[in-house]
């Protein structure tokens, strides 16, 4: 068991996210915690919605993450890979080759894009069970992902870049179709969760360590309006928008503010300086993550603790910061380091601090 006393309080989480208050012990924020780490913390495998809720509670979080996502089945099938295999993130796929070919067949996500959500029936049932067992002091973070990523993966990244100039109508139709599917299932999940929805969380990597994968204008034309639509779904129940993307994002922060992003995650240390973000965009964003993934995977628990304390006491000065691993929490993060990160954050006393 972790050496913490869980005190979930989503109102506190929301106050920090919206920059209304700051606390000496900041809320934690992570997502996609590997199932082996969940089992270690919980003491058993997560097999039921009740197990899922209990993991997030005993691990010291203020929320339960619920992911709903319409898969592009053709992508995995093209490489003969199992669902969820990370190797599907290739750059040389040619599942979609032209506008004519795209229009000539039905795609696995298009039923959801047209309103038939049968593909997500099991996930929606899981959400219904989550709502029955989640304590009132925790809320559901509804997560969806990868309009841009699925589009370029199915076209192949080099071809995607070329077609954004040579055949932009193809890029538009593919991304709009994927967006319609992901927005429809997210809309239904938020409808089911209602006021138990704490945030809407969208993830879609748009940058490398050195900068954006495409021009800022490309994302303004093809993606950012869709991200804004996720935010509008959350607004209906008072749920703010959190956005995950790796990489160096300075060119995009003005757009993030414009489309209603309130929290930015994971803030890879090698990509950006969170203090520079605070300086250049004061009062705009809650910064989430920034605990170095390499340290979590290769370092010692004492090194992790020193790193976490540095981040809490520098980035967290004046509020607007939630520590967590600067990506997801994959299997190669040492479980003793994940435990130490959580315990270090929870070692800080309760109580508010002045908001700078």
On the question of pLDDT at 123 being above 90, the answer is yes
User: How confident is the model over 71-89, as a mean pLDDT?
Assistant: 67
Tell me the two tokens of residue 325.
């691993």
Model confidence at 103, pLDDT cuts 50, 70, 90, reads very high
Distance CA 222, CA 26 (A): 35
Distance CA 322, CA 287 (A): 6
Model confidence at 356, pLDDT cuts 50, 70, 90, reads low
Tell me the two tokens of residue 312.
């809490």
Determine which of 63-67, 89-93, 247-251 has the lowest per-residue pLDDT on average.
89-93
Question: Any alpha helices (H) in the chain, and if so which ranges?
Answer: 10-17, 35-42, 49-58, 73-79, 99-103, 110-113, 121-133, 147-155, 157-166, 168-193, 216-222, 224-235, 253-259, 274-280, 293-298, 301-314, 335-346
On the question of pLDDT at 87 being above 50, the answer is no
Tens digits of per-residue pLDDT, 129-150?
999 999 999 999 999 999 999 9
pLDDT at position 93 is 76
Q: Is-contact 141 201, C-beta < 8 A?
A: yes
Tens digits of per-residue pLDDT, 182-218?
999 999 999 999 999 999 999 999 999 999 999 999 9
pLDDT at position 91 is 60
Q: Is-contact 225 184, C-beta < 8 A?
A: no
Q: Is-contact 24 348, C-beta < 8 A?
A: yes
Q: Name the maximum alpha-carbon separation found in the chain.
A: 61
Give the relative orientation of helices 147-155 and 157-166 as an angle to the nearest 10 degrees: 100
Tens digits of per-residue pLDDT, 229-258?
999 999 999 999 999 999 999 999 999 999
Neighbouring C-alpha atoms within 13 Å toward the C-beta of 244 = 25
Q: Which of 338, 267, 268 is nearest to 297 (CA)?
A: 338
């Amino acid at each position: 068991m972790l050496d913490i006393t869980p005190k979930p309080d989503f109102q506190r989480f929301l106050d920090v996210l919206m920059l209304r208050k700051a606390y000496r012990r900041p809320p934690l924020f992570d997502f996609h915690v590997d199932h082996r780490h969940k089992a270690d913390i919980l003491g058993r495998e997560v097999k039921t919605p009740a197990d899922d809720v209990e993991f997030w509670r005993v691990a010291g979080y203020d929320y339960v993450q619920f992911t709903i996502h319409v898969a592009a089945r053709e992508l995995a099938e093209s490489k003969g890979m199992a669902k969820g295999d990370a190797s599907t993130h290739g750059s040389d796929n040619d599942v979609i080759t032209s506008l004519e070919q795209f229009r000539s067949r039905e795609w696995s996500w298009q039923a959801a894009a047209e309103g038939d959500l049968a593909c997500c029936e099991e996930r929606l049932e899981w959400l219904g069970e989550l709502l029955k067992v989640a304590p009132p002091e925790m809320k559901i973070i509804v997560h969806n992902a990868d309009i841009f990523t699925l589009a370029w993966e199915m076209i192949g990244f080099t071809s995607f870049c070329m077609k954004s100039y040579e055949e932009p109508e193809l890029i538009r139709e593919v991304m709009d179709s994927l967006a319609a599917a992901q927005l429809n299932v997210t809309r239904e999940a938020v409808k089911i969760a209602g006021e138990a929805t704490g945030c809407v969380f969208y993830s879609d990597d748009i940058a490398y360590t050195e900068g954006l994968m495409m021009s800022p204008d490309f994302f303004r034309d093809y993606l950012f309006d869709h991200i804004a639509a996720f935010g509008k779904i959350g607004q209906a129940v008072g749920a703010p928008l959190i956005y995950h993307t790796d990489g160096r994002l300075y060119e995009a922060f003005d757009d993030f503010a414009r489309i209603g992003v309130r929290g930015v995650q994971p803030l890879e240390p090698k990509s950006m300086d969170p203090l520079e973000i605070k300086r250049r965009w004061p009062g705009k964003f809650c910064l989430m993550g920034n605990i170095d993934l390499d340290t979590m995977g290769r370092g010692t628990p004492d090194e992790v603790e020193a790193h976490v304390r540095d981040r809490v006491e520098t980035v967290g000065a004046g509020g607007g910061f939630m520590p967590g691993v600067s990506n997801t929490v994959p299997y190669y993060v040492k479980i003793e380091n994940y435990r130490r990160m959580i315990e270090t954050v929870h070692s800080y006393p309760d109580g508010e601090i002045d908001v700078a």
